[in-house]
Structure 1
Amino acid sequence: MIEIKHKKDCCGCHACENICPKHCIEMKVDQEGFWYPEVDQTKCINCNLCEKVCPELKQYANPNALEPQALGAWNLDAEIRKQSSSGGVFTALAEWIIDQNGVIFGAGFDEGFRVTHRKIIIKKALAELRSSKYVQSNIGDTYAQAKECLGQGKKVLFTGTPCQIAGLYTYLQKKYENLYTCDVACHGVPSPKVFEKYKDYLEDKHSGKITKMTFRDKVKGWKSYWVTIKFENDKLNTTQYGQNPYMIGFLKDIYLRPSCYECTFSTIPRVADITLADFWGVGAKYPELDDDKGTSLLLINTQKGKELLLSCKEQIFIQECNLKYAIKHNPCIAGAVKPHPEREQFFKDLDNISFDKLIKKYLNPPNVLKRVKGKVWGILSRIKRRIFR
């Protein structure tokens, strides 16, 4: 039976829970708010399927051996592009699958603003999956649902983090020609417990339940995105991402899952057929691709990914770009982040002090002097590189 001796050896993909023939594995939340498998030994028959499908314990062998093709892209539908985190390419891919009577699996908010994976079969519902959610998604039984759809001969597009896609592949244990996958350039997944406490803090502060949350609002452009939160009392909370306490903690890597710091799936070659990302830094090398409305970086990792993209070519603008340049400006494509030195203390404080105090201690934006120093240091570093290159 599956046994997680070190937290870093479990990515929380739910493959073990989905595969168990006796339903004796349940994903339970630990003190930090992350899911880990717990086995009911009275029901376990020691079939070891759970160990067999674990992408971490199995040390998933990525069959994608070719260097990806890098593309700058966006959806030609201006409204969909506006509603999306970057260029809106996911929607074009998903709409084509639905046009083939296929199904989509991806992450969205439920009624309680928990992020969960779900099945989508109509285009209108794709809005649930659009835009980034910076918290780990609960896969639930969607691997099993996807397998059922694949067995029925339906085309399936499954989207998620690289480890979730690896978990799907190991769970299925065979190749399906009707399966298409997209992973994201994952920075790491924050704790759902931290997000829940942040949500409770906001609802208490604004005296109302949250009705809508957008992590990547383009109200002032794509590159300087805002976090926008609407409440049932018509209050609106908007903060630039660099001033938003939750995003500050996320970008500081202070409350990510332990496995994220040693991720073996955010690498080149990639796990999925297509990788979706923001094309940060695009304007410096490809100014024609930067109108600040959102430019997607696509990595075409397999022949199947190329075929899927070509099927949508009438809905997407694409231009081939330099892979090394793209990775330089979005390093999470090819490597894991480092743990924050205050991570352990942050989680100790999480249950013992108010979120307001957590913000003051860990999640405050840098003061003006620090920001000025940072900008000056950045300018000097660029000058130094130009002089000595």
Structure 2
Amino acid sequence: MNNTNISALTDICYECGNCFKCCPVQAITMVQNDFGCSHAFINEAQCLHCGQCKEICPACNPIEKHTPRIAYAAISKSPEANHSTSGGIFFELASIIIELGGVVIGAAYDFKTWAVRQVAVSKKTDITFLQGSKYVKSDVGDSYQKAKNFLELGKWVLYSGTPCQIAGLKRYLQKDYSTLLTVDLICHGTPPAKLFKDYIQYLEKKRHIVISDFAFRFKEYGHQHIGQYTYKKGNRIRKKPLYSAESSYFSLFLSSAILSDSCYTCDFADTARVGDITLGDFWGVRTELPRFFTDNSLPLDSSVSALMVNTVRGAEMADKIKGHLIYQPVDYDQIVRNNSRLNHQKNRDSSVHDILLTSYKDNGYNGIAKYFQKHADLKKYKMRIRRNMPQFLKKMIKKLFIEKPF
């Protein structure tokens, strides 16, 4: 590999496509591996070795990060916030941008193809399409170019995405715009889009249904990892809860077994952030802020956002929405210690990942489902034994494994 060739960056490619878009001779294509992860491939016969691809690559050229200036536990007062997974802060930020005549770009489902794409909206009623957690890699597509076009016209743009997508946007733009607000998410990692699409098709085929709507987290079931999907069977339309422990895709995502390659070497699983504002779940809020709910007359199962303000621009926008929030300033460490993705990468269990990759390559999503079911049944069997075990035996086993010989 020469010093301008990015073809070898397969495991750390963020799949932003910047290199593909900037190549003056179209020498770069984005190719997929067996798991559905994309990376750049350079045709050496066409390559000019100009280095433009490396210059615009966020993996080759790290973006400046910012230590949060202030952090909050926050919940939106607006009823529209119910469409959000956590406290609805994204809705309030998006609303302000649209009121300023701007556009908001974020991840939305395409229910016809089951892709997740970065799309632009300019109406408040359309913000709902961008709300809610989507545990799948979204396609950047031409969203960077659209953002640039709006910015060049002097319009406000809110771009929301994973930290690597924000880094890709900043590398693409090559300069700062005073009307750009970037919002990065506390990201667990994202499975390849192909895997999610195959999972939906697997469910439809297995249950003889047609799925028309899907949510990984559904607030009516509380703050836990319980989703819901809408499906049609015959002439009837029904809704079904999606329990993470019973869903192969959901469960393997949470265990970090099916993430994209670059997620295991993520440079953004860090306390320093690339966006003007960082949003995510405030896990552990009931322990960290035991009076937050009672003092604000909130139900104890309310979903609360962690709102981190990282830049001056982020602070200005956060100030604009405070009147729409119930919030409390917090020490940043209170958020970090309850969210591991703010201080370290996810480890890849190579043995499990390789088994899943081989199963997927040989048998499609059926192979992954069979692997999950086998281990899920074993887990249920162990839990059943534990439940029925006499208390004295539980104590003996616990003592055996906890006590040290020295």
Q: TM-score, normalised by structure 1?
A: 0.89
Question: What are the equivalent positions in structure 2 for 1:333-372 lying under 5 Å apart?
Answer: 333-341=342-350, 342-353=352-363, 355-362=365-372, 364-365=375-376, 366-367=379-380, 369-370=382-383
Correspondence for 1:3 among 2, 6, 13: 6
Q: How far apart are the structure 2 equivalents of 1:162 and 1:259?
A: 12
CA distance in 2, matches of 1:25, 1:186: 28
User: 253, 261, 266: which one pairs with 2:256?
Assistant: 253
Opposite residue 98 of structure 1, the aligned amino acid is I
Distance 2:17 2:249 in 1: 26
Contact 2:103 2:122 in 1 (8 A): yes
8 Å Cα contact 1:82/1:293 also seen in 2: no
* Shift in alpha-carbon separation, 1:371–1:21, aligned structure 2, 3 A: farther
Shift of 1:355: 3.5
Q: Deviations over 1:47-102 (max 9, x none)?
A: 322110111112x14252x444221011101x323221101110110010011110
Higher mean C-alpha deviation, range 320-329 or range 281-290: 281-290
The residue matched to 1:107 in structure 2 has which SS?
strand
What letter matches 1:277 in structure 2?
A: G
Instruction: Describe how 1:1-389 pairs up with structure 2 within 5 A.
Output: 2-39=5-42, 44-58=47-61, 60-64=62-66, 66-77=67-78, 79-110=79-110, 111-222=112-223, 224-233=224-233, 234-290=237-293, 291-341=300-350, 342-353=352-363, 355-362=365-372, 364-365=375-376, 366-367=379-380, 369-370=382-383
Please list every run of 5 or more consecutive structure 2 residues that lacks an aligned counterpart in the other structure: 294-299, 388-393
Q: Is the 8 A contact 1:210 1:229 kept in 2?
A: yes
- Alpha carbons 2:63, 2:171 under 8 Å: kept: no
Contact (CA 8 Å) 1:206, 1:235: kept in 2 or not?
no
- The amino acid across from 1:116 in the alignment is R
Moved more, 358-367 or 85-94: 358-367
Q: Which amino acid is 1:243 matched to?
A: E
Q: Are the aligned partners of 1:81 and 1:293 in contact in 2 as well (CA < 8 Å)? A: no
Cα displacement (A) at 1:371: 8.8
Listed one character per residue, the Cα deviations across residues 8-58 of structure 1 (whole Å, up to 9, x for unaligned) are 221112222333345543323221101212345566544322110111112
Long gaps (5+) in structure 1:
385-389
Partners of 1:9 and 1:20 in 2: how far apart? 20
* 4+ aligned runs moved over 6 Å, structure 1: 371-374
Q: % of aligned pairs identical? A: 30
Asked if 2 retains the 8 angstrom alpha-carbon contact of 1:132 and 1:215, the reply is yes
Q: 1:235 aligns to what SS in structure 2?
A: strand
1:358 Cα shift? 2.4
Over residues 306-348 of structure 1, what are the superposed CA-to-partner deviations in whole Å (9 max), with x where a residue is unaligned?
A: 1111111222222111211211111112221100231012111
| Amino acid corresponding to residue 99 of structure 1 in structure 2 | E
How many residue pairs are counted as aligned between the two chains? 374
Instruction: Provide the alpha-carbon RMSD of the alignment.
Output: 2.4
TM-score scaled by length of structure 2 = 0.86
> Which stretch of structure 1 is more off in the superposition, 286-295 or 249-258?
286-295
